[in-house]
């Protein structure tokens, strides 16, 4: 069976990417990062989802002592109540410097070591918080780089970074995930790191927006069938 590496955070997008890869017939191996994030509940969610899907997984613990991010430094306040239209126009303090670059490097090493041909990442360039490492041009450049710098790449066995959600809205992602039977109730998106979702951080608001738009689009059609 063909193998794929999944960057799994336990959130809505990465979990949908995991289920998408499984539906495409890949044997999935998840990489879950403990990088000092305040929302460590997502690690438990990721492990639960990996086990639920029968996927292999590794928890990679790394330390970023220089990371000036609200996700890793509790002295920096997580933004709350930002306008949705502002989220993709500026890079917020929840940005972790070069996070996807770091994560993808681990995924590339893992892929090469087990002979996986694909890396799946739930990057999204529409309903997102303005992170530069979620854009299509970044992913294309990174894929070119790893194929120039790995044994697999120079031998002609190209490693492909798959971003099935990159051009979707959150509502479209949820629609896809619903078809794939993603258990969204087991996912965790909140940045704040509390016992319950705060409902006001960027991640919570984008999630809420996605479900609201998904339900608005699907409920009328259901009524018409009754």
Is residue 122 within 8 A of residue 133, CB to CB? The reply is no
**pTM of the predicted protein model:** 0.92
Residue 86: the pLDDT is: 64
Q: What's the CA gap between 71 and 49, in Å, rounded?
A: 22
Of 56, 14, 55, 57, which Cα lies nearest the Cα of 162? 14
Walking along the chain (226 residues) 10 residues at a time, the average pLDDT comes out as 96 98 98 94 97 98 89 90 69 90 97 97 81 92 96 95 96 97 96 90 92 89 52
Of 130, 118, 60, which Cα lies nearest the Cα of 94? 130
Domains of the chain: 3-225 (3.40.50.620)
Residue 65: the pLDDT is: 86
């Amino acid at each position: 069976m063909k193998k794929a590496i999944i960057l799994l955070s336990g959130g809505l997008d990465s979990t949908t990417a995991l289920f998408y890869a499984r539906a495409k017939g890949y044997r999935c191996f998840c990489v879950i990062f403990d990088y000092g994030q305040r929302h460590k509940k997502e690690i438990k969610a990721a492990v639960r989802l990996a086990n639920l899907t029968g996927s292999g997984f590794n928890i990679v613990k790394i330390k970023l002592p220089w990371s000036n991010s609200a996700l890793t430094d509790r002295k920096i306040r997580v933004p709350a109540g930002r306008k949705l239209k502002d989220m993709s126009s500026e890079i917020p303090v929840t940005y972790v410097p070069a996070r996807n670059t770091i994560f993808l490097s681990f995924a590339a090493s893992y892929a090469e070591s087990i002979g996986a041909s694909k890396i799946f990442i739930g990057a999204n360039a529409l309903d997102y918080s303005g992170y530069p490492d979620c854009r299509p041009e970044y992913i294309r450049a990174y894929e070119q780089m790893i194929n120039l710098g790995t044994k697999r790449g120079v031998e002609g066995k190209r490693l492909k970074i798959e971003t099935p959600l990159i051009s979707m809205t959150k509502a479209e992602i949820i629609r896809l995930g619903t078809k794939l039977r993603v258990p969204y109730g087991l996912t965790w998106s909140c940045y704040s790191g509390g016992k319950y979702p705060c409902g006001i951080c960027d991640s919570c608001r984008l999630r809420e927006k996605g479900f609201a738009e998904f339900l608005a689009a699907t409920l009328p059609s259901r009524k018409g069938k009754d």
